[in-house]
Structure 1
């Protein structure tokens, strides 16, 4: 956080926030993409310093950084969308900028995950995965300070079903459910692995042709077989990326297994499904049911959770926790 050497009126922080030196340094040096404002102590208010896209001289660049270090440089909250789109590529910056609201940080996370997952599903190779992994670890670091912060992301779940949106929705909701069940008690390594598993449980879908994933009419038997092979593809991809730990393998291989053995790919029954697998199965189905898909309308969250709680093929406890959260407005 920038060191403030003077008293900033409360009404200023409602409409503006100080820009951290690390954030400023990430912008184009001579053409910052946002308006910058200078706090004038003599009048206890802000005045424009430079406009977005305006070219700064070398002296002005030095002055801007000097003012920022003194805690005198501000940006307008109305510029948050631009600010957000810029720092999604350096997500760790949200950990050093203490002036952002939780809602603003949640926007940054959701935008960053969309960007990284789109890149990863388009090209599921190590160098692309490494960027996604880094961003997910930023999220776990953020939540390790206060796990209730996940609720701001829950308010931003997507309503349209795409592979990327579904992965994010499942990652966020499963993380909340995992932390809720554990009452916020966890070892950091366990959290890192679980959250990574939740976001990547469906990564085998990257190997399924898009025309099958998005088909609006019933699949043929051959197409259904290809679709049902995605957990196996996901497991192979995880191993290729060096992700053969238990949590991710459980979520990849078990999120379509059912208590009565009617699921896939191994048709195992309740006693053979791990706790994380049971959790992921409920979340995966819930997130699919509550989004608009080509072949089905979105269900209301409470109705979807109630349906899963009554379905003996799923873990009733996990489904009931989600249902209760929506009924009570817990999010």
Structure 2
């Protein structure tokens, strides 16, 4: 029997679901658990993090959970979210997570999955990335305005996974704004394409990627090979879509033919690549790179809108959104990610 619990409790506590509870180690839960006591109308401790639990206690905790009166403090969010990060589909089942919390958890999950795939771009590491991307698209499909929460969480550090996530967020927003009929299959394909568009950079020597001065001709030629390298990596994966391959191969093509590797122009460049080009360049421009300081989102978007090498439909959309503060105030996602990682390290691994 579900008990009536005051709604204001959810401001400071999560009402934990059975699925998330089952994701914890069985005998030592990594968070403090609380139960609602009707007699005094408050939450009382049930177990403490790291405490060894008996089978009887475990049964009691699951019964409380099934009754809808088991909670975890929001102060334990970094630890709590770690389990959802590793089982991202749980965000679709937990009705007590706030929109901002879900965006944070999804971004953390995709950073983790992309880092693994970038380091080893093979099928076993691609599948978790693909599956988590589809969790995000399902979540956004239910309300496309949810993408705004993702777009305000942009990274400013120049690192492969951070760049991939920036491009993913901005690119999906552009695709949603410019697409009349959102078909799930197309949305899924676009999402994964944006994530993997720069995976070929893993094949470029670090001394070129980290060089502070201008690249020599031979170094630039090696850098430009990442587009072809990425397309080849993706082609080797079972189930690779045309959108994924084109995003990798064409995202440095430009409308006037000045891009690479094919020097194609205008509508010869696929739509997915034209969107990816804008999102990729914007994402790079707002980050500190070895050869240039990061720009503010406002300056970056304005410069792109004035650059005829990019598709004006998408640069105008982005510039208008940034100028109108459609995404709200941009958050320091780098600090958020690092603080979350530090909290997990301090908490230690559950026994």
Q: TM-score, normalised by structure 2?
A: 0.90
1:97 — aligned with what?
Answer: 94
Question: Deviations along 1:134-168, whole A, 9 cap, x unmatched?
Answer: 11111111112111111111121111111111001
CA distance, structure 1, for counterparts of residue 2 and residue 271 of structure 2: 52
Match of 1:24 among 4, 21, 24: 21
Runs of at least 5 residues in structure 2 that lack an aligned partner in the other structure: 328-351
> In the aligned structure 2, how far is the partner of 1:280 from the partner of 1:109?
20
Unpaired runs of 5+ residues, structure 1, are none
Cα separation, 2, equivalents of 1:312 and 1:79 = 48
Which residue does the alignment assign to 1:231? 227
Question: How far is the alpha carbon of 1:250 from its aligned partner?
Answer: 2.0
**Within-5 A mapping of 1:177-326:** 177-182=174-179, 185-326=181-322
> Which residue matches 2:81?
84
Partner residue, 1:127: 124
Instruction: Tell me the secondary structure at the aligned position of residue 222 of structure 2.
Output: helix
Matched residue SS, 2:87: helix
Q: Is the 8 A contact 2:5 2:69 kept in 1?
A: no
What is the CA distance between 1:36 and its match in structure 2?
Answer: 0.2
Is 1:174 matched up with 2:159?
no
SS of 1:228 mapped into structure 2: helix
In 1, Cα distance between the equivalents of 2:210 and 2:161? 13
After superposition, the Cα gap between the structure-2 partners of 1:81 and 1:244, relative to the gap in structure 1 and judged at 3 Å, is closer
Moved over 3 A (4+): none
User: 1 or 2 for the larger relative contact order (CA 8 Å, sep ≥6)?
Assistant: 2
Deviates more, 1:308-317 or 1:167-176: 308-317
* Alignment of 1:44 onto 2:41: yes
Cα distance in 1 between the residues matched to 2:267 and 2:323: 30
Report if the CA contact (8 A) 1:254-1:273 is conserved. Answer: yes
Contact 1:160 1:292 in 2 (8 A): yes
| Residue 327, structure 1, aligned to residue 319, structure 2 | no
Report the Cα offset of residue 6 of structure 1: 2.3
- Aligned position for 1:113: 110
Contact 2:231 2:246 in 1 (8 A): no
Deviation at 1:243, TM superposition (A): 4.4
Taking the aligned partners of 1:49 and 1:123, their CA distance within structure 2 comes to 43
Shift of 1:234: 0.8
Tell whether the 8 Å contact from 1:84 to 1:107 is kept in structure 2 after alignment: no
SS at match of 2:228: helix
What is the CA deviation profile of residues 225-263 of structure 1, one whole-angstrom value per residue up to 9, with x for unaligned ones? Answer: 111001111111111012442211221111100111111
